Amino acid sequence: MSDKETKEQSEFDIGTALDSDAVLILDIDGFEGPLDVLLALARTQKVDLKQISILELVQQFLKFVADAKVQKLEKAADYLVMAAWLAYLKSRLLLPEENSEEEFSAEEMAARLTYQLQRLSAIRDSSARLMSRNQLRRDVFARGMPEPVIVTKNAVFELSLYDLLRVYADHKTRNAIADIRIHKRDVYTLDQALERLKGMIGLAVDWTDLYQFLPDSNMADNMKRSVKASLFTASLEMARSGKAEIVQKQAFGPLFIRKTDRKD
Amino acid sequence: METIEHTRIIEALLFASDKPLSSIALADCLPEEVKIESLLRNLQEHYEKRGVNLVEIAGKWMFQTAPDLAFLLRKEVEEDKRLSRAAVETLAIISYHQPVTRAEIEEIRGVSLSKGILDVLMEAVWVRPMGRRRTPGRPMTYGTTENFLVHFGLNSIKDLPGLSELKAAGFLANVNTSRLNLLGDDKPIEEQPELPGSAGE
Amino acid sequence: METIEHTRIIEALLFASDKPLSSIALADCLPEEVKIESLLRNLQEHYEKRGVNLVEIAGKWMFQTAPDLAFLLRKEVEEDKRLSRAAVETLAIISYHQPVTRAEIEEIRGVSLSKGILDVLMEAVWVRPMGRRRTPGRPMTYGTTENFLVHFGLNSIKDLPGLSELKAAGFLANVNTSRLNLLGDDKPIEEQPELPGSAGE
């Protein structure tokens, strides 16, 4: 923060420089913006801020801007904005006030600027007064070895054995449900039946009993049922797609199937 | 006899703490009928001329070394942590104008507020957000903390140095953030602070 | 008059110091001719019957709360805390499956274990680390403490009802306990617990 201090220092240097009407060598880095510069310039008028000459202030600021290095100012557009505004204010102040429809008269604008400068100046004085107060750990000190109130927190956790077991049992119950496995049943799938039927139907010369296509006979009963059902469904599927014909001569009688290879 | 005992208790509690204690907190350790305020005043008187003083800060009570002995105790370490001028000014604006928005701080200082400044002030726990203003954009407002009062030895915000002068001069009137605009605007309505526990207002 | 000023300085220095100060250290801040020892004795006498005493410990001086008021600084707060369901379930799993690793708890519960849960159970002194498992990664295993047994009125962890007992007691309705052979698992080999003090096993 030492550079801040030199900034503060430079403020006074500028003051004296302006006062002696010497050539201005200003560095905008030394300021915190146009208002800061304006305040520094206003103070050089060595009068109460209420009586500063706005016109003189404008001149000083425009000179400051003109003298400051161009590239530096380009980085700080607000200086140029302020310069433009002040130039406008200056022209308004110098020209006789027209019966203008402008919002504010030049005097009002000047008064506003004066107010802003006064306010900034006042808050700076206040901040200096605030910082010069006795500050804790700088000027006044609290007990160096505080004896803190030792709050012994006897955390009493409420939990009964019942609750513990209840939760465990609930967890187990939930888990048991999640653990139920539906065993994969042995089935002869439709896909298997279709494949078998397609493969074998070509081998058969003519109408063949569907049950001739049953795979090997050493099967569990429920598997046999599954195979029959799937073969039957597969035969219907083949008939539907025109790959086979099926015939049943009587109710519950044998189903005959043959390949449709005729070119209709 | 009882009074002596109660005073000893208050003395012990305040001496043991490095933070200010409210009379309510002290009351917790004392019988109900005890008139704490009067005991505190007596204690304050007893310590008035000693090396350690009992001070009323942020509406609470605390023992502190006597300010006139600062020259003996002043620690240079704190100097390293000095705030930048911008930060000090910002802190002053926040303390005198609170609740105040970022735009208003910028308007008063005439420059935009660089990012680090509010951070530093909040890190020091001197500044806190105080809720949003009921104006377009609902900007966040800032104010000071109890820690700020304690650090600067203030009993309340009303004790800020020069507050009445600033007020009388009209410098604490509403900050008009539409630049260089002379129209006085209506006092904006603040929403309730979003954080509980307000510094003395 | 001078004596009063020197006493004030000693008082402030001792108050603000973060460690006991020797009379030599105090002498650094006072004029050479000051008889520090006698000032310290006077100060000690002044504080003798107050809430704070000046005490000499190992040749150094410090302020301290009067011993008879020490009780003020110790506040016992009984806090009733409720465990979350997740915490109770975790505790149950640890008690039935101990020693059990974090990963195993997660597997059994089917959800990952949030960090706070084990902390709470250890804060309640119901669960403790039980050493690392001799498997890759050497994960820490957890088990219950003696305090756990005391709290739940159990003589040993074996007193926890088994699953069939739970079912008999109506805890496990509609569950085929024969499929829940979780208690009969072979226990992996544990290293010696790294922490002393064993839960009742």
**Tens digits of residue pLDDT in B8-48:** 999 999 999 988 999 998 998 888 889 999 999 999 999 99
Which of A174-183, B46-55, C1-10 has the largest mean confidence? B46-55
Residue A70 CB burial class (10 angstroms; 0-12, 13-18, ≥19): exposed
User: Are A149 and C151 an interchain contact pair (Cβ–Cβ within 8 Å)?
Assistant: no
User: Are A130 and B109 an interchain contact pair (Cβ–Cβ within 8 Å)?
Assistant: no
> Does the predicted interface ipTM exceed a cut of 0.85?
no
Query: In sequence order, what are the residues at sequence separation of 6 or more whose Cβ sits closer than 8 angstroms to the Cβ of residue A147?
Result: B15, B16, B17, C64, C65, C73
Q: What is the mean pLDDT of residues A222-246?
A: 84
Q: Does B67 touch chain C (CB under 8 A)?
A: no
Contact C113, C65 (CB under 8 A): no
Q: Which residue of C has its CA nearest to A140?
A: C16
Question: What residues of C are in contact with residue A169 (Cβ under 8 Å)?
Answer: 166, 171-172
Q: Does B7 touch chain C (CB under 8 A)?
A: yes
Question: How much is the pTM?
Answer: 0.59
Cα(B88)–Cα(A135) distance, rounded to whole angstroms?
14
Q: What is the mean pLDDT of residues C76-103?
A: 84
Question: What residues of B are in contact with residue C69 (Cβ under 8 Å)?
Answer: 8-9, 12
User: Are A172 and C173 an interchain contact pair (Cβ–Cβ within 8 Å)?
Assistant: no
Task: Enumerate the CATH 1.10.10.10 domain ranges in chain B, comma separated.
Answer: 2-72, 85-183
Question: What residues of B are in contact with residue C72 (Cβ under 8 Å)?
Answer: 9, 12-13, 16, 29
Between C17, C80, C171, which is nearest A156 by CB? C80
Cα(C121)–Cα(A52) distance, rounded to whole angstroms?
73
Contact C50, B11 (CB under 8 A): yes
Helix, strand, coil percentages in chain B from 3-state DSSP, rounded to 5: 45, 15, 40
Helices assigned H by DSSP within B124-194 = 146-151, 163-168
Q: Which residue of A has its CA nearest to B169?
A: A119
A166 pLDDT tier (thresholds 50, 70, 90): confident
pLDDT at residue B109 above 60?
Answer: yes
Q: Which two tokens stand for residue B130?
A: 């105080």
Q: Does A136 touch chain C (CB under 8 A)?
A: no
Cα(C99)–Cα(C143) distance, rounded to whole angstroms?
5
pLDDT at residue A83 above 80?
Answer: yes
- Look at B49 and C180; give whichever has higher pLDDT: B49
Cα(A130)–Cα(B160) distance, rounded to whole angstroms?
7
Q: Does B30 touch chain C (CB under 8 A)?
A: no
Q: Does C66 touch chain B (CB under 8 A)?
A: yes
Cα(B135)–Cα(B137) distance, rounded to whole angstroms?
6
- Chain centroid offset of residue B41 CA: 22
pLDDT at residue B78 above 60?
Answer: no
- pLDDT tens-digit map of C79-89: 667 788 889 99
DSSP B197: S
Omega before residue C31 within 30° of 0, cis: no
User: Are A169 and C15 an interchain contact pair (Cβ–Cβ within 8 Å)?
Assistant: no
Q: Which two tokens stand for residue A166?
A: 């209840």
Q: Does C162 touch chain B (CB under 8 A)?
A: no
Q: Does A105 touch chain B (CB under 8 A)?
A: no
Q: What is the mean pLDDT of residues C65-89?
A: 80
DSSP B113: P
Q: Hey, which bits of chain C come out as E strands?
A: 21-22, 52-57, 60-65, 74-82, 100-101, 127-132, 140-144
Question: What residues of A are in contact with residue B17 (Cβ under 8 Å)?
Answer: 143, 146-149
The least confident of A126-135, A217-226, C65-74 is A217-226
Contact A35, A117 (CB under 8 A): yes
Chain B, 82 to 101: residues with Cβ < 8 Å from chain C are none
Q: Which residue of B has its CA nearest to C7?
A: B51
- Look at A229 and A162; give whichever has higher pLDDT: A229
Q: Which two tokens stand for residue A87?
A: 């130039």
User: Are B171 and A137 an interchain contact pair (Cβ–Cβ within 8 Å)?
Assistant: no
Question: What residues of A are in contact with residue C15 (Cβ under 8 Å)?
Answer: 141, 143-144
Between B16, B86, B92, which is nearest A126 by CB? B92
A50, A79, A81, A141: best mutation site toward chain B, by most B Cβ within 10 Å? Answer: A141
Contact A195, A237 (CB under 8 A): no
Q: Does C3 touch chain B (CB under 8 A)?
A: no
B96 Ramachandran zone, left/alpha/beta (phi>0; psi -120 to 50): alpha
The DSSP H or E segment spanning B96 is helix B85-97
B182 pLDDT tier (thresholds 50, 70, 90): very low
DSSP C178: G
Contact B145, B125 (CB under 8 A): yes
Cα(A162)–Cα(A145) distance, rounded to whole angstroms?
48
Q: Which residue of A has its CA nearest to C18?
A: A144
Q: What percentage of chain A exceeds 90 in pLDDT?
A: 6
Contact B66, B52 (CB under 8 A): yes
A139 pLDDT tier (thresholds 50, 70, 90): confident
Question: What residues of B are in contact with residue A33 (Cβ under 8 Å)?
Answer: 109-111
**Domain C2-72, CATH number (from 1.10.3720.10, 1.10.10.10, 1.20.120.1760, 3.40.50.1220):** 1.10.10.10
Mean per-residue pLDDT over chain A, rounded? 76
State the CB neighbour count (10 A cutoff) for residue A209. Answer: 13
Between A122, A139, A144, which is nearest B171 by CB? A122
Q: What percentage of chain A exceeds 70 in pLDDT?
A: 73
Q: What is the mean pLDDT of residues B160-189?
A: 70
3-state class (DSSP) for residue A25: coil
Q: Which residue of B has its CA nearest to A117?
A: B108
Shortest alpha-carbon distance between residue A221 and chain C (Å): 29
User: Are A149 and C75 an interchain contact pair (Cβ–Cβ within 8 Å)?
Assistant: yes
Omega before residue B31 within 30° of 0, cis: no
Q: What is the mean pLDDT of residues B76-99?
A: 81
Q: Tell me: domain C85-183, CATH 3.30.450.20, correct? A: no
The DSSP H or E segment spanning A258 is strand A255-259
- pLDDT tens-digit map of C122-140: 888 889 998 898 888 899 9
- Look at C106 and A178; give whichever has higher pLDDT: C106
Omega before residue C99 within 30° of 0, cis: yes
- Owner of token pair 């085929």: C176
Question: What residues of B are in contact with residue C50 (Cβ under 8 Å)?
Answer: 8, 11
Question: What residues of B are in contact with residue A140 (Cβ under 8 Å)?
Answer: 64-67, 70, 73, 153
B1, B5, B8: best mutation site toward chain C, by most C Cβ within 10 Å? Answer: B8
Q: Does A122 touch chain C (CB under 8 A)?
A: no
3-state class (DSSP) for residue C97: helix
Cα(A32)–Cα(A7) distance, rounded to whole angstroms?
9
Shortest alpha-carbon distance between residue B158 and chain C (Å): 28
Query: In sequence order, what are the residues at sequence separation of 6 or more whose Cβ sits closer than 8 angstroms to the Cβ of residue A70?
Result: none
- Residue B143 has a pLDDT of 92
- Give the phi and the psi of residue B140 in degrees, each rounded to 5: -70, 140
Cα(C198)–Cα(C201) distance, rounded to whole angstroms?
8
User: Are A118 and B169 an interchain contact pair (Cβ–Cβ within 8 Å)?
Assistant: yes
Between C73, C110, C166, which is nearest A149 by CB? C73
Selection from A259, A263, A138 nearest residue A199 by Cα: A259
Going by DSSP bridges, is the β-strand pair B60-65/B140-144 parallel, antiparallel, or unpaired?
unpaired
User: Are B160 and A126 an interchain contact pair (Cβ–Cβ within 8 Å)?
Assistant: yes
